[in-house]
Structure 1
Amino acid sequence: MKEIAPVMDRLRTQTRDEHIRVEALPFFRALHARELPLASYVGFLRALSIVYEVFEQALMHTRHSALTAVWDSSLHKLPLIDRDLAYFQARGLPNAPVALLRAHLLTQQVRQRAHDDPISLLGYLYVLEGSTLGGLVLKAQVARAFELTASDGIAYLSSYEKSTRAHWQAFAGRMNGVLDDPAEQERVVAAAQEAFNGMGQIIAALYPFDANPTGDLVRTLNPAAGSHAIPHDPRELQAALRAGERTWRKFPYYQWRYGERGQQFTRSDSAWLVTLAAHEQVVVNQQISWLGRVLSSRGMPQWMLELHLRMLHEELVEAVPENHASYDRLQAAADMLRDTRRRYIGEDVLAALTLQFDQQVGAEWSAQLPYTGGLLAAAVADQQAGISQAVKNIEAWMTDDARFPHHWIAAVQLTIRAAREQAMGGDGAASPPP
């Protein structure tokens, strides 16, 4: 039997290239040369605060035995980062918007892993804990560059003080003790590589320092997006990202059909939608109607946008409750889409066709692409409302025999036919199909 390598050995060797790339970034060369602006260092702490808040929350709420065996309260870093930020608060230093946005995007990956594959978060923990070893060197460089004394402004870099290596050895022992399955090790290594790359992108945006990037924020969300508004309040931006994550979890169809490019457009579109809340309701409705027609013509029925707006409203109200009245305009726009759909396909028909489709394709397929019956019915409603390509686009993809079995394709065709029969009645509330 082939001997299984300790996971810490695999992590060290298989993330070496990523580690070297991060250490070679201009940020660290400038720090060593005492040329790094203080705003860059504080921007680093602010980005870490964003990442650690989400990461530590994920670990504290997990019930996965491997994570609970490795993680304990001694590994908390967020209080130390917050202490450093409090020390610099009076300086009034500008933010580094691109770096902070990249930190928010990295937290999306953390939340996704916490949902889909919790044990892989140990790869992130390896990278973040490993940074304490580098902190032994960085602490002295930062203190010298910015004339800091004691632990003022360097509490995070001083995490374990003289016991850093002892902590690391204990951590390594726990990691090796819980990760002896090669497949799990592979996923942890992939997560560590992802974490190194994500942190590298954050740090790369901190030097040279740019407090007013032009166009970089939207391109960071989505390299293929044009120039458009996104919120400046990080709470709103985080809410937009969370709403996008929720929508994608509800409709795996997004991932199946649109992949990474679709995720990028969900981020940029969701961020843009937040900015609409500052306008009058008539403007909001006009913009939502336009976006709904565009998306439906590309295979995403307006029902998906309707539900996304509701999730976005929930996230925004929770994150920034003082702006509740403005965010209610997004809820009103969702109601507008709902009312248009209901003229042709009401909630009872939508639910009945969803259930009927699931029964026709069986449990295995319905679990992979839930709500497909509802999506097809909603596309029919969109077509009846004047979006000519709504059904054609989604039907062509859903009936591709290179992708789906024959019984799935038959169910798609039956559902579209049944939805059309209901929609032709015009009140959206006809009796559900048998």
Structure 2
Amino acid sequence: MSLAHALREACAPAHAELELLPFFTALHRGELPLRAYREYLVAVQTIVGALEHELTCVAHTRLTGLWSSDERKEGLLKQDLRALEEQESTGTTPVHARLPALELVSEIRRDAFRSPVSLAGYLYVFRGSSMGAAQLLRSVAGQFGFAEQGVAYLNALADEASSWKQWKQALDRIPPGSAEFQIVLEAGVTCFAGLVAVVAALPTNDRPWAPPRAIDLNPNAGFHSVATEPLELEAALRAGERSLTEFPYLELRYGGRGRRFTASDSAWLVSICDLEPDVVEKQILWLAGVLAARGMPRLLLEEHLHWLYEESCAVRPERSSQYALLLQAAGRLKEARLRAIAENRFAELVREYESRVPAEWLERLRGMGRLLVGAMADERAGIRGSADRLADWVCDRDLFPEMLVQAATRTLADAAKG
């Protein structure tokens, strides 16, 4: 069985489920509000932008003929969104709809890191959507009266339908039974499942959105309180994005789960800023210890608290005194870190690690030197096993070349001496 045929069969259940979701039902009936179409474009731009970025960063012979930079569509999606903004205000993107898209982005990034050929599976889904683009275009244009503005992305997709057969032939160069065949197959299934979650979260009417709960941000987080004020929640998510950008480790190791907990923890941290200062500090230090024991050095939370403070103050400056409790807790974490390893020595150890690692890997594992030294600082401060939990991943020879494993091992050994 060819890869394209195997993908079609494996993805068929999710594909059928996707087409029957209320969003598409409302669209084809002419009952979808404009803001819902906008949320769809925002979600697709988020995912397509990440996929295209990964495709430009990797080189793999199996991807030859499947994608080229002149096929980028993120710009078309941005163009459509600008056109909608000029037409009328459609409000802000609800968190409920955004998070599934961001979670799929996490899976794309982690899969690309582990095996670049997996991107062919994601491409199969988005390239294959060209086959239904013409019908979608007719529904959107008919309901909202669009001719060209607002449908640039759908127009481009519809134009690619004629070359779908040729594209599948290029994909089928990956031989059946190979490890790459299975990797691409699993990526396609992951992509379709992610899209089902994204579209299921999109609005289908103009009713106001209910404030999210922790379980909406992260099904594994339970029902504890989180920030529900829209501006605060947006700020919390932006702070989370900064953490994920500055420390790719979170996504590369934990994937969507790491992103979900970053979102729910951020929203929870903002929500506790109205408590007594000693209670806030105690709660944050407790969280830092729990995370460190699970492979996330306390340095991660220390840095995140600064970004959370900045983003929160930017949208609610009148609450800066409450948000300042986040900085106080970050200060306590820094004090504990520097008691374990002095500041000058900490910086020296990071520089030594970075001198042993090629520039390409320094970018892919941005911040890893600080995390390694931070993990050992946690260990020296009494959080047993924190360094080992990080080493379990960064010293995995199935993931990293020997040179990187040795650099991490030596840094941990040197940091253990203080």
TM-score by length of 2: 0.71
Superposed CA deviations along residues 164-215 of structure 1, whole A, max 9, x for unmatched, are 3322123212222356562212111111111111111111122434664334
Asked whether the equivalents of residues 295 and 301 of structure 1 are also in contact (C-alpha less than 8 Å), the reply is: no
Deviating more after overlay: 9-18 vs 112-121: 112-121
Aligned residues: 365
Alpha-carbon distance change, 57 to 268 in structure 1, aligned in 2, over 3 angstroms = same
Alignment-derived partner of residue 189 in structure 2? 193
Superposed CA deviations along residues 260-306 of structure 1, whole A, max 9, x for unmatched, are 86764343114545778xx79x9888635422224425763898222
Alpha-carbon distance change, 166 to 330 in structure 1, aligned in 2, over 3 angstroms = same
Counterpart CA distance in 2 for 1:302 and 1:173 is 43
Alpha-carbon distance change, 336 to 16 in structure 1, aligned in 2, over 3 angstroms = same
Q: Are residue 269 (structure 1) and residue 262 (structure 2) matched?
A: no
- Matched residue type, 1:166: S
- Counterparts of 1:416-427 in structure 2, within 5 Å, are none
Asked whether the equivalents of residues 345 and 377 of structure 1 are also in contact (C-alpha less than 8 Å), the reply is: yes
TM-align CA RMSD: 4.4
Question: 1:291 is matched with which residue: 275, 284, 299?
Answer: 284
How many angstroms does 1:6 deviate by? 2.0
How many angstroms does 1:431 deviate by? 10
Superposed CA deviations along residues 113-159 of structure 1, whole A, max 9, x for unmatched, are 222222111111111111121111111112222222x3232222211
Asked whether the equivalents of residues 123 and 191 of structure 1 are also in contact (C-alpha less than 8 Å), the reply is: yes
Alpha-carbon distance change, 10 to 181 in structure 1, aligned in 2, over 3 angstroms = same
Alpha-carbon distance change, 315 to 107 in structure 1, aligned in 2, over 3 angstroms = farther
- Matched residue type, 2:378: A
Counterpart CA distance in 2 for 1:216 and 1:396 is 36
- Matched residue type, 1:39: R
- Counterparts of 1:34-53 in structure 2, within 5 Å, are 34-53=30-49
Counterpart CA distance in 1 for 2:7 and 2:156 is 22
Identity, in percent, stands at 30
How many angstroms does 1:69 deviate by? 3.7
Question: 1:115 is matched with which residue: 108, 113, 116?
Answer: 113
Asked whether the equivalents of residues 26 and 204 of structure 1 are also in contact (C-alpha less than 8 Å), the reply is: yes
Q: Are residue 128 (structure 1) and residue 126 (structure 2) matched?
A: yes
Alignment-derived partner of residue 363 in structure 2? none
Alignment-derived partner of residue 401 in structure 2? none
Q: Are residue 157 (structure 1) and residue 154 (structure 2) matched?
A: yes
Superposed CA deviations along residues 334-371 of structure 1, whole A, max 9, x for unmatched, are 343121243355469989999xxxxxxxxxxxxxx998
Counterpart CA distance in 2 for 1:168 and 1:211 is 39
How many angstroms does 1:310 deviate by? 2.3
Alpha-carbon distance change, 198 to 234 in structure 1, aligned in 2, over 3 angstroms = farther
Gap runs ≥5 in structure 1: 355-368, 383-389, 399-429
- Matched residue type, 1:60: T
Gap runs ≥5 in structure 2: 351-367, 391-414
How many angstroms does 1:82 deviate by? 1.9
Q: Are residue 432 (structure 1) and residue 405 (structure 2) matched?
A: no
Larger Rg: 1
